[in-house]
């Protein structure tokens, strides 16, 4: 029976004879300068797929409930009263392998954004994504608030969550031995230093109030050989000297309560690769970085004791 689709100008051709070019009887044809999908009439099929009643089926996946140890599978459902997608668990009590009771006696539901950065946020998802994009592009919180018309506490809360996520990724990835500072084959040494950020307010001799920040930077050898050295001229004597040139690589900064050896050395051990060369300004806390020699009590031979950083060079 012939059928028509006015929106796509497509008609049936069931009674037509086969045409040249591979067209067979029953394949839909279209009018001049109109497009028809080669595999048949997919427009009506697409209208059914993207209908409002079935739009939420794209998220039709299951997950374990997990409430009070419940191991039942949750089903994603569309709440008719507000149109929100929620995970629904029928509930029930079970006995685990240890004989303990797990599960919950009644029905439970939770939103699909549970345990995600979008959970329990009043702003819309597109605003959240836009704020995340601008924040990762080094935009200030003030500019983000002005451009999006959002309150400062809302933007600050999202920025704090992003910082925690990045810290979690750093702990999981960069603290592995092959990803620590100094793992780059071009790394010549690692520069470390600490500084205090604060203000004196014109009180000469007054102790600076602020926080200590400890930093480490990789110094990489340039790829081009012509860029590896430069000529240094002493402005007092006029003497010239050929000095090596390095490029800054990965960096690490953190706030510390003080700059004692007990505070700084564990940070260096956790974030620098073994047998790395470290250069500092000769601060006393770094004296423990020098390789120590241990001798056997019987033979007197030197025992090679590997430390995270084998060499320390003073650059004061």
DSSP string, 110-179: EETTTTSTTTT-SS-HHHHHHHHHHHHTT--HHHHHHHHT--HHHHHHHHHHHHHHHHHHHHHHTTSGGG
Given pLDDT bands bounded at 50, 70 and 90, which one contains residue 304?
very low
Residue 81 has what pLDDT?
67
Residue 199 has what pLDDT?
72
Residue 173 has what pLDDT?
77
DSSP annotation of 43:
H
Please tell me which residue, 130 or 305, carries the higher pLDDT value: 130
Residue 124 has what pLDDT?
80
Given pLDDT bands bounded at 50, 70 and 90, which one contains residue 71?
confident
Mean pLDDT of 59-85: 72
Mean pLDDT of 274-280: 83
Residue appearing with tokens 């996946």:
61
Closest CA to 256 of 202, 216, 298, 307: 216
d(CA 132, CA 125): 11
Contact 250, 181 (CB under 8 A): yes
State yes or no: pLDDT of 152 exceeds 60. Answer: yes
Contact 107, 93 (CB under 8 A): no
Q: Which among 1-5, 69-73, 210-214 has the top mean pLDDT?
A: 210-214
DSSP annotation of 198:
E
% of the chain at pLDDT higher than 70 = 65
Q: What is the pLDDT of residues 5-42, one digit of tens each?
A: 444 434 444 444 444 444 444 444 444 444 444 444 44
Helix boundaries (H) for 3-75: 43-49
Domain ranges of the chain: 1-40, 55-111, 125-173, 179-199+208-314
Given pLDDT bands bounded at 50, 70 and 90, which one contains residue 284?
low
Residue 218 has what pLDDT?
93
Given pLDDT bands bounded at 50, 70 and 90, which one contains residue 296?
low
Closest CA to 108 of 149, 68, 159, 150: 68
């Amino acid at each position: 029976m012939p059928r028509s689709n006015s929106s796509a100008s497509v008609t049936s051709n069931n009674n037509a004879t086969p045409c040249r070019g591979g067209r067979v009887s029953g394949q839909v044809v279209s009018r001049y300068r109109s497009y028809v999908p080669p595999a048949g009439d997919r427009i009506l099929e697409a209208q059914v797929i993207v209908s409002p009643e079935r739009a939420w089926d794209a998220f039709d996946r299951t997950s374990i409930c997990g409430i009070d140890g419940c191991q039942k599978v949750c089903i994603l459902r569309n709440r008719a009263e507000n149109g929100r997608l929620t995970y629904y668990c029928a509930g029930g009590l079970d006995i685990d392998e240890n004989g303990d009771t797990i599960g919950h006696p009644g029905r439970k539901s939770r939103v699909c954004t549970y345990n995600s950065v979008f959970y329990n946020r009043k702003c819309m998802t597109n605003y959240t994504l836009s704020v995340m994009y601008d924040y990762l592009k080094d935009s200030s919180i003030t500019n983000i608030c002005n451009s999006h018309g959002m309150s400062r506490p809302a933007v600050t809360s999202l920025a704090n969550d992003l910082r925690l996520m990045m810290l979690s990724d750093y702990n999981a990835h960069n603290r592995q031995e092959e990803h620590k500072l100094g793992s780059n084959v071009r790394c010549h040494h690692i520069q470390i230093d600490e500084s205090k950020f604060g203000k004196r307010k014109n009180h000469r001799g007054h102790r600076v109030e602020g926080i200590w920040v400890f930093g480490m930077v990789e110094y990489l050898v340039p790829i081009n050989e012509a860029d590896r050295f430069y000529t240094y001229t002493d402005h007092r004597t006029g003497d010239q000297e050929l000095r090596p040139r390095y490029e800054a690589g990965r960096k690490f900064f953190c706030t510390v309560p003080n700059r004692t050896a007990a505070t700084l050395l564990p940070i260096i051990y956790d974030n620098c690769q073994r047998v790395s060369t470290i250069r500092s300004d000769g601060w006393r806390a770094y004296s423990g970085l020098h390789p120590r020699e241990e001798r056997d009590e019987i033979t007197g031979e030197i025992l090679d004791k590997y430390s995270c950083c084998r060499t320390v060079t003073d650059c004061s």
